Chains A and B, each alone.
Chain A
Amino acid sequence: MFKDITIGQYVDGNSVIHRMDARVKILLSILYIILLFVIDSIALYAVFGVFTAFLVIISRVPFKYIIKGLKPMLYILIFTAVINLFVTGGETVLWQSSLWKGLKITKEGLTIAVQMVLRLVFLVIGTSLLTLTTTPIMLTDGIEKLLKPLDAVKVPSHEIAMMMTIAIRFIPTLSEETEKIIKAQKARGADFESGNIIKRTKAMVPILVPLFISAFKRADDLAIAMDSRCYNSGKKRTRMKQMKMTWIDAAASGVMIAFSVFVIIIQRF
């Protein structure tokens, strides 16, 4: 289950998207997400789909990874679809339950449900594409640089970036650890799959207690290791890899901005 989480997973490559500057990629991803929430016609979603497919293709990230990222979302997607489908009120009734008049599907409900699902799908694809093509280090460096101007108003940009780096670094470690603990408890006859919700919640205790203990222990060890190498978040840290914007970033920004303008104009009229 944890292996399916693709956020924080990097797929090595040398495509134009891989070679983009992390800062630009983050900003353009934000623009992508904003755009996603601006549009609300099915036709524009289709255009958006084509554009996203284009991004996936030029990134040369295997399609499997994109699908894998969507898998853990499946239940959320179904849930969103069902809720929107039945809860949204509207004029044009498409279907009505013969048993209970309140249970009906309207044209408006259907539109909203489809829109919400598409929004979530594109949201996941867009953000996965960012993390799949940017190493976690570059990503956090990028965020740090983008937050830097906020240092003036006492936002600890370096510390935030460090925290994120550490969190991302430990996702695979902790998921491996979780898997191992689950197996060890299963070997002792623990059953996580059957019973009602109370029983299942209780069954989590033998996993969570060891997991927390080891996570705290790791945090402690890491803090000591950082301390003993004289880590401090001082102002004058330099980087091994300097970020540099190239013509790729200029071109990508151009394409993305042009696309945004196009979408917004169509949306308006």
Chain B
Amino acid sequence: MIKVTGLTYIYQQGMPFEKKAVDNVSFEIPTGDFLAIIGHTGSGKSTLIQHFNALLKPTQGKIEIDGIDVTDPKTNLMEIRKNVGLVFQYPEHQLFEETVYKDIAFGPKNMELSDSEIEKRVKSSALAVGLSEELLQKSPFELSGGQKRRAAIAGVLSMSPKVMILDEPTAGLDPKGRDEILGELSTLHKQNPDMTILFVSHSMEDVAKLAEHVLVMDHGRIAMHGTTSEVFAKSGELKKIGLDVPQITELTHRLIKDGIDIRPDIYTVKFASEIYKNLIKEAENV
């Protein structure tokens, strides 16, 4: 379980341009959760997630992961980074090795694992992100945009973290590349029920498809935190802070406004189509 208590982070504290990016937030994430973090640009999402693997030290507050305080300077950094994998936005910009294989092996190598263990991990994480084996011996710079992104994600996955965090993993990809990554994340979650996955996203459709819980940030604070259906049911509040809801939820809420009696917590097309079919049937029977 991840427990965040009173976390505050101020950039350039004491300087004329100081900026409180995260403002006294507290919440808990159960083990195995699939959590989406949403919020408009500059709301502090990227700042928040960099605290989970101690890349940023909080100005105030703390984070405990499975009882270990990762914000304590005495905690071993390597241990934290083994347990908490963080994939930055546009992670393909960090690729540097001669071959994709070596790049994915960078993390496990830093962990000083045996060669056979490294090989096992590189292969399994490449497989998990859908990179075929013959790509492993290519230069990462020969890959397509989507493949590069997936190689970079594999580079973090190969450390077998207990918590996997991704900052806007689909940003800047074409629809196909996006669907592939989302599909792989979903599979990853199903195959590793103990792995906690956090992802930052701007696409409400992606959040609706994947997330079990949603954390909404606004100006460094937590505006909402609940199950995906709970959060999307409050489309009015989301709009007030400049966010959208999935289109199907938008449609449903407009129908409710027009006096049609449907539940407000609809956010996937699949579920909606069932409800709407029943509604039509009822209407025909009257």
Contact B106 A187 (CB under 8 A): no
In the complex, what residue of chain A is closest to B81 when comparing beta carbons? Answer: A189
Specify which of A3, A62, A181, A205 is in contact with B94 (CB 8 Å cutoff): A181
Give CA–CA (A213, B140) in the complex, Å. 12
Residues of B within 8 A of A64 (CB): 15
Contact A210 B95 (CB under 8 A): yes
Residues of A within 8 A of B93 (CB): 177, 180-181, 184, 210, 213-214
Please provide the chain B residues from 50 to 84 with a CB less than 8 Å away from any CB of chain A in the complex: 50, 53, 55, 78, 81-82
Please provide the chain A residues from 181 to 201 with a CB less than 8 Å away from any CB of chain B in the complex: 181, 183-191
Residues of A within 8 A of B95 (CB): 210
Q: A187-B55, A187-B81, A205-B96 are in contact. Are A62 and B16 (CB under 8 A)?
A: yes
Give CA–CA (A184, B111) in the complex, Å. 15
Contact A187 B86 (CB under 8 A): yes
Give CA–CA (A188, B104) in the complex, Å. 10
Contact B94 A184 (CB under 8 A): yes
Contact-residue size bin, chain A (C-beta under 8 Å from the other chain): 20 to 34
Q: A181-B94, A210-B95, A210-B96 are in contact. Are A188 and B106 (CB under 8 A)?
A: yes
Q: Closest CB-CB distance, A71 to chain B, in whole Å?
A: 13
Residues of B within 8 A of A3 (CB): 12
Prevailing SS type, chain A contact patch: helix
Contact A186 B81 (CB under 8 A): yes
Residues of A within 8 A of B96 (CB): 205-206, 209-210
B220 interfacial contact with A, CB 8 Å: no
Contact B106 A183 (CB under 8 A): no
Q: Mark A51-67, 1 if CB is under 8 A from B, else 0.
A: 00000000000101000
Q: Closest CB-CB distance, B42 to chain A, in whole Å?
A: 15
Q: Closest CB-CB distance, A150 to chain B, in whole Å?
A: 39
22 examples of A-B residue contacts, CB within 8 angstroms: A3-B12, A62-B16, A64-B15, A177-B93, A186-B55, A186-B81, A187-B53, A187-B85, A187-B86, A187-B88, A188-B81, A188-B107, A189-B106, A189-B110, A190-B106, A190-B110, A205-B96, A206-B94, A206-B96, A209-B96, A210-B94, A210-B96
Task: Add 14 more A-B contacts to A184-B94, A188-B107, A191-B78 (CB < 8 A).
Answer: A180-B93, A183-B50, A186-B81, A187-B53, A187-B85, A187-B156, A188-B156, A190-B110, A191-B110, A205-B96, A206-B94, A209-B96, A210-B93, A214-B93
Q: Interface residues, chain B, CB within 8 Å of chain A?
A: 12, 15-16, 50, 53, 55, 78, 81-82, 85-88, 91, 93-96, 106-107, 110-111, 141, 155-156, 159
